[in-house]
């Protein structure tokens, strides 16, 4: 294995950082614009919560509550306002992920079919990516229609309230305002100028694409090359894999297995040692940002492991 300590090595943290900055920008500019909070503070909250998401089994269930608790503790922001923005953020992430995978898979199918060496496995993999995206897309199209009508969150609340669990019903009563606020946020989005919505979609598509740039950099550092289309395809499909194993921290295990399968499926000639170095270096980059996120948590005196912060209670008390 041959490391190249040049410009690519120095740039390794840039894609991950760029993705975090884009996500924070959209969250602040479009989803929390009525709330007075600095970009740096919002970035710190986002980075700290994402560190938990990337490092703890089932971290997806902790990340958003941690953001809500942090922002309430530091800035006294009403939890229902933050929750509504986070719901819209996840919806936008889902919409743009489907769009990104469909566009990348379509381009990849055209490019790979144009090569004489295109294999059945490569074309089948491409078709699978397109089919999976279309299936998810159908669900998201329904959510677009229902959300923009401003009724889905309230309907979901009523459906949950029918479940005969006293503890759940007590929680739902406390959270009713958050559900109504979510519907209101989506109605407001439906009134956004088309250019604003297009800007959000475009920025999130860039967000999904930045890891492909990281893949190109990691390959360069290790001394082998990956085509840009192949890198985009690899990360697009792995984004669906991570969606399917959301309960694993950063898709641990499943993502590594995915790289092994996709290197073979895309016909990228890489030996076992280089492939091992590739996945290890990718994980090292992630660990660096996990450490950064936990640093932000530590500076605020928040530990999601040792003691539940008192401000977390506001999520269920409001």
Read off the pLDDT of residues 143-177 as tens digits, 9 standing for 90 and up.
666 555 666 777 778 888 888 888 888 888 888 88
Tens of pLDDT along 195-253? Answer: 877 888 888 889 999 989 999 999 888 888 888 888 998 888 888 787 777 667 666 77
* pLDDT of res. 20: 92
Tens of pLDDT along 23-51? Answer: 998 888 766 666 778 888 888 888 888 88
Tens of pLDDT along 51-61? Answer: 888 888 777 77
d(CA 8, CA 217): 5
* pLDDT of res. 215: 92
Tens of pLDDT along 251-261? Answer: 677 888 888 88
How distant, in Å, are the alpha carbons of 187, 263, 311 from that of 173? 22, 50, 19
* pLDDT of res. 36: 76
Range with the poorest average pLDDT among 36-50, 97-111, 114-128, 134-148: 114-128
Pick the residue with more confidence: 132 or 70? Answer: 70
Q: Which of 265, 257, 271, 286 minimizes the C-alpha distance to 223? A: 271
Pick the residue with more confidence: 137 or 158? Answer: 158
* Number of neighbouring beta carbons within 10 Å of residue 33: 11
DSSP secondary structure, 56-104, as one string: STTTHHHHHHHHHHHHHHHH---HHHHHHHHHHHHHHHHHHHHHHHHHH
* pLDDT of res. 313: 44
d(CA 62, CA 304): 8
Backbone phi, then psi, for 252, in 5-degree steps? -55, 130
Please, which pLDDT band fits residue 4 given cuts at 50, 70 and 90?
low
- Tokens 């790979």 belong to residue: 112
* pLDDT of res. 216: 92
Range with the poorest average pLDDT among 19-33, 81-95, 184-198: 184-198
Question: Where would I find the H helices in the chain?
Answer: 7-11, 13-26, 39-55, 60-75, 79-113, 120-148, 152-161, 166-190, 194-222, 228-244, 254-265, 272-299, 314-317
d(CA 68, CA 71): 5
What CA dihedral angle connects 5, 18, 259 and 4, to 10 degrees? -10
Pick the residue with more confidence: 286 or 188? Answer: 286
For residue 246, give the 3-state DSSP assignment. coil
Please, which pLDDT band fits residue 194 given cuts at 50, 70 and 90?
confident
Tens of pLDDT along 203-215? Answer: 888 999 998 999 9
pLDDT above 50 for 317:
no
* pLDDT of res. 298: 82
Query: Within 13 A of 49's CA, how many CA atoms are on the CB side?
Result: 23
Q: What is the CA radius of gyration of the chain?
A: 21
The whole-chain average pLDDT of the chain stands at 77
pLDDT above 90 for 21:
yes
Query: Under 8 Å CB-to-CB from 250, ≥6 apart: which residues?
Result: 53, 54, 55, 242, 286
* pLDDT of res. 33: 66
- Tokens 């000639």 belong to residue: 269
* pLDDT of res. 1: 56
* pLDDT of res. 318: 41
* pLDDT of res. 311: 42
Pick the residue with more confidence: 305 or 7? Answer: 7
Contact indicator for 241, 255 with CB cutoff of 8 Å: yes
């Amino acid at each position: 294995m041959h490391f190249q300590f040049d410009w690519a090595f120095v740039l390794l943290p840039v894609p991950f950082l760029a993705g975090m900055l884009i996500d924070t920008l959209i969250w602040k500019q479009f989803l929390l614009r009525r709330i007075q909070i600095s970009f740096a503070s919002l970035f710190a909250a986002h980075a700290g919560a994402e560190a938990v998401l990337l490092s703890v089994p089932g971290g997806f269930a902790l990340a958003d509550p941690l953001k809500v608790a942090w922002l309430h503790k530091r800035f006294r922001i009403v939890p229902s306002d933050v929750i509504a923005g986070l719901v819209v953020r996840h919806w936008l992430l889902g919409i743009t992920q489907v769009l990104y995978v469909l566009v990348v898979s379509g381009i990849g199918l055209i490019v790979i079919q144009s090569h004489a060496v295109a294999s059945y496995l490569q074309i089948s993999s491409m078709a699978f990516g397109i089919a999976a995206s279309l299936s998810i897309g159908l669900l998201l199209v329904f959510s677009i229609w229902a959300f923009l009508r401003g009724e889905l969150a309230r309907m979901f609340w009523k459906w949950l309230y029918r479940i005969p669990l006293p503890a759940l019903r007590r929680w739902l009563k406390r959270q009713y305002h958050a559900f109504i606020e979510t519907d209101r946020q989506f109605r407001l989005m439906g009134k956004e100028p088309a250019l604003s919505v297009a800007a959000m979609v475009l920025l999130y598509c860039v967000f999904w694409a930045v890891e492909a740039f990281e893949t190109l950099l990691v390959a360069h550092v290790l001394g082998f090359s990956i085509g840009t289309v192949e890198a985009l395809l690899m990360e697009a499909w792995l984004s669906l894999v991570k969606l399917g194993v959301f309960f694993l921290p950063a898709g641990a295990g499943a993502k590594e297995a995915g790289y092994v399968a996709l290197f073979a499926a895309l016909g990228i000639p890489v030996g076992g040692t280089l492939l091992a170095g590739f996945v290890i270096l990718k994980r090292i980059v992630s660990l660096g940002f996990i450490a950064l996120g936990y640093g932000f948590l530590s500076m605020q005196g928040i530990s999601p492991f040792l003691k539940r912060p008192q401000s977390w209670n506001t999520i269920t008390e409001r």
